Amino acid sequence: MRVSMFCRLLLVISIASSALAGANSANQAKADDARVKMQQSSAASGESSEEAEVMPSNRTQRAVADLAWAAEFTLEDQFGKAHTYAFPKDKVSVLLFADREGSEQIEGWVRPLYDKYRNAIDVDGVALLKGVPEWMRGTVRFLFRKQAAHPVMMDWTGETTEQFDCRAKVASVFVVDT
């Protein structure tokens, strides 16, 4: 997977808000492989030394490597429609994970980002709803339908969010160009 210059910049910025935990030894090997591939693709594409300085940190590269194995999942949105998230994709993907508190950090910047790059990116959101009791899920779906016209994937179990190593009360952002 080659991460473009645009994506690298967004990954470096977004890593501060996602605060990903360190990878275990198996994931560390994947991260090292991804870092080498990213460096090789940068060299092969003939990027200038100024561009090379924007190379993501080891932590960002681990996030990219972790995303490579965690990327495929299927979740239903608030309308009951199943969405399968898989690669490769035609556009750059901006994947957002947030619980209620984290979602408050998103709207101020994601709308301008989407408006500016709407033809070049897909923006997809995942709501972390692990603590919601099953008997309240219908009400939560109803509230999401009233507040968001765009589909928001609902992670009731927290398994998908955990795959991406996201944490509570903070929006986690992944930008991927495949």
List pLDDT tens digits, range 104-162.
Answer: 999 889 989 999 999 999 999 999 999 999 999 999 999 999 999 999 999 999 999 99
pLDDT in tens, 38-48: 444 444 445 44
Mean pLDDT, the chain, rounded, equals: 73
Q: In this predicted structure, what is the pLDDT of residue 58?
A: 59
Q: Which amino acid is at 47?
A: E
Q: Residues 169, 145, 166, CA angle at the centre, nearest 5°?
A: 25
pLDDT digit string, tens, across residues 75-105:
999 999 999 988 788 899 999 999 999 999 9
Exposure string for 138-168, b = 16+ CB within 10 A, e = fewer: eebbeebeeebeebbbbbbeeebbebbbbbe
Compute the distance between CA of residue 12 and CA of residue 82 in angstroms, rounded to an integer. Answer: 31
Residue 172 has pLDDT above 90, yes or no: yes
Select the highest-mean-pLDDT range: 33-37, 57-61, 84-88.
84-88
DSSP state of 62: H
pLDDT at 51: 40
With a cut of 70, say whether residue 72 has pLDDT above it.
yes
DSSP category for residue 168:
T
* Per-position DSSP letters for 24-37, written without gaps between them: -HHHHHHHHHHHHH
Question: Is residue 42 helix, strand or coil?
Answer: helix
**Structure pTM?**
0.63
- Residues 31 and 10: their CA atoms lie apart, in Å, by 18
